[in-house]
Structure formats: C-alpha cells, structure tokens
Amino acid sequence: MQVEQRVAELVQEKIADREDLFIVRIKMHNNGILEILLDGDKGISIDDCVAVSRHVGFHLEEENVIDRAYRLEVSSPGIDSSLLLLRQYIKNIGRNVRLKLTDGHKEEGKLLSATDDLLVLEQKVKEKGKKAALKTVEFPMDQVQETKVLISFK
C-alpha cells in the first residue's frame, strides 16, 4: 500500500465525525517530509491539525508504514496557496481571486460561483470617461491553470 493512501485513510478516520473538514493534499516528498494539507468549510484550527498529526503519527509508527526517517507536517494551505479543490472554491465565493489562465493571461474579480466545469467572476470594467461598470465573466475550468485568493488589507 502506498504511503499517501494509508495516510489518507488515517486522516479520514480521524476527521470522520467532522463533516466541515476535508483533505486538500497528502504528499510524501523525496526529502522525507510527509505533508498533510487540511482545510475546513469555516477554516481549521491548530487543535484540529495537532489531533490529526498525533493520530496519523501514532499509527504510522505502530504499523511501520515508512521505512526511513521522515517528518510529519500537518497544516492548512497557506495564504498564498492555489485553490486545488472545488470545495475550496465554494468556500471562497464572494472573495476576490486572481486566475492564471492556460494561455498565460491573468484575470481578477470577485468569485461568484464555481462548478467542476466553470468559474464565474464579477469584474470591474473601466471605460474612458465613464464610471466603472460590473460585468460577469465565465471561465471554463480547463482553461484555469491556477487560482489564488487575493488578500486585502483595507
């Protein structure tokens, strides 16, 4: 059994009673770091990360799943992380995002909706001599290479 698969089972076991929490990514890096990224529909606490870390670490040691030195890191995606799952997009509806499209263009706007196939943004369009107008723009998911939430400190 692959390490990532067993770790996913252990994490699911630990968060089974928490429908608001979900796995974003599990990756065993070549440098020995076992990374578990978790998120929640309303965020995730340090206590949740600690509980998952203890559960996973205990079982990995008991079962001797990893046969070399490793470091277990359990965290939430960072502020500059790309959105990876539809559930993350849905969690961020109403926030401003920056899309990097497969053709290299970048687009910004307020995320209005997200499906497996389509992102809908509200963008401000400024025409010379006129007030800025709002328009709704759709982006097929297969044309979106990366999406990041824009953080405002206003």
- What's the pTM? 0.83
Query: Averaged in consecutive runs of 10 residues, what is the pLDDT profile of the chain (154 residues)?
Result: 91 96 96 96 95 96 91 92 96 96 96 97 88 93 97 79
Sign of the Cα torsion 74, 78, 83, 88 reads positive
Per-residue buried b or exposed e for 128-147, using 16+ beta carbons within 10 Å of the residue's own CB: eeeeeeeeeeebeeeebeeb
Closest CA to 10 of 66, 71, 52: 52
Residue 11 token pair: 């994490």
CATH of 86-149, one of 1.10.1740.10, 3.50.50.60, 3.40.50.150, 2.30.30.100: 2.30.30.100
Q: Which of 44, 45, 47, 62 is nearest to 6 (CA)?
A: 62
Q: According to the CATH classification, is domain 3-75 in 3.40.190.10?
A: no
